[in-house]
Amino acid sequence: MSFDKHHTLERLAHALKTGQTTSQALVEQALGCIEDDEGQGPVAFIRVFADTAREQALASDARRAAGSPKSEIDGLPISVKDLFDIEGCTTRAGSVVLSDCEPATEDAVVVQRLRAAGAIILGTTNMTEFAYSGLGLNPHYGTPLSPWDREHGRIAGGSSSGAAVSVYDGMAVAAVGTDTGGSVRIPAAFCGIVGYKPTAARIDMTGALPLSLNLDSIGPMAHSVVSCAWLASIMAGEPIETPTPCDLAGMTFGVPNELVLDEMDETVSGTFTAACQALEQAGAKVVSLSMPELLELAELNAAGGFTAAQAWQWHAELLQNQQTEYDPRVAVRIRRGEALDADYVEQLQEKRLDWIARVVKRMQGVDALVMPTVPVVPPLLGPLVSDDEIYAKTNLLALRNPSVINFLDGCAVSLPCHQADQAPVGFMLAAAGGQDARLLSIAAACEAVFAHEPSL
């Protein structure tokens, strides 16, 4: 039995449990979507493990027949971003620079945990080279497109571009990405799916190629909050938790007055306003929240921030020897860190901790912050390819709101809040670090209010 490509992990897990489908059928359906000549598979995936996936699906079905599945997600096909180590494969991180490096000797920790739960890793997904952009362009492997308005070619967002497309297009039932400044939430918003950025410390980054040790986090993308919560639990090495939607009556959501509503296009503005009104009709209060600290971020990161400083530390030797093989736009951004030393990083971290304390204090009167995930709908690819100035401006705009939460060391969920026939718009809920369980319960309640057909 085949399933609509927008089914959730929990729905498919139930179908496997009740014998409505098999892991083999789900894997073949996903591989069929990847191999579709008219689809996005060739640009969404850098590497596909078709033979291994089929073998693992057969083994999963045998476990179920014997009454011993490894977990609720045993047999479900998952994609992972190209920067996670896969035993026996060279970790390229969307680049050609590392092509001659030795293969990984073991899986990344999150991949190990997913396999231990019975998940089937279908392949590694395309991304911005070395995860250093929020737009998802890749000159080496192609650029995945948002499912909205593919006729004209709009970006899927980055850096986890292929991950989001793999989920929306039915090439995987869920995906694993990373988020340093929005790299899970931006593509989730641009592709009309759910993206969850956990508190960074929740999920072990071992075996993931780093961008910024101070900001990196691992997060899932899927068609529901519960799906994301399940995957996050597994990747964190915790028992699977299903968030119970909270009662929105009496909840208070704060929309920062500063920064996050600037430069919204008409579609995002109208859709975000309608989403806030829907929450109010469900009994919540949506209030304006003074947060002048957000205006400090530009100055705090003016020299390049943690990302430039720490990316340079990792890439310095490679750039000296192989810069011509890099995406020029990525190389330029990494080189911003050349003048930033360990003292700079230490001082910035001290300033960050002070900033976090002040922002958390501002948040004490609300249950969560809310804002548009990205203030614009998915931009057209053409102008971004041809004009460096447009690219740079658009990248900063896409990263602006999500990166607030990375600097806060917080947690966040991007929910689709648009109508089925409209351009995708993400509604971001965010909380301070360590409040993941409560945030997921709130997100599940909001998801029910925004429920819509997933087609764009």
User: Does the active-site annotation cover 361?
Assistant: no
Among residues 90, 92, 89, 60, which one has the least CA distance to residue 76?
60
CA separation for the pair 269, 290 (Å, rounded): 19
User: Does the active-site annotation cover 386?
Assistant: no
Note whether 442 and 366 are within 8 A (CB).
no
Q: What would you measure as the largest C-alpha separation in the chain, in angstroms?
A: 60
Catalytic choice (95, 146, 159, 217) = 159
Residues 6+ away with beta carbon under 8 Å from 382: 153
Note whether 40 and 120 are within 8 A (CB).
no
Residue 332: C-alpha distances to residues 136, 145, 325, 391, 394 (Å):
16, 24, 13, 13, 16
Which residue matches tokens 């548009």?
A: 372
What phi-psi label fits residue 148: left (phi over 0), alpha (psi between -120 and 50 degrees) or beta?
beta
Residue type, 134: G
Catalytic choice (5, 60, 71, 81) = 81
What phi-psi label fits residue 123: left (phi over 0), alpha (psi between -120 and 50 degrees) or beta?
left
User: Does the active-site annotation cover 197?
Assistant: no
Catalytic choice (71, 183, 212, 233) = 183
CA separation for the pair 60, 55 (Å, rounded): 9
Residues 6+ away with beta carbon under 8 Å from 371: 255, 256, 260, 261, 272, 401, 428, 430
CA separation for the pair 150, 38 (Å, rounded): 12
Catalytic residue numbers, as ranges: 81, 159, 183
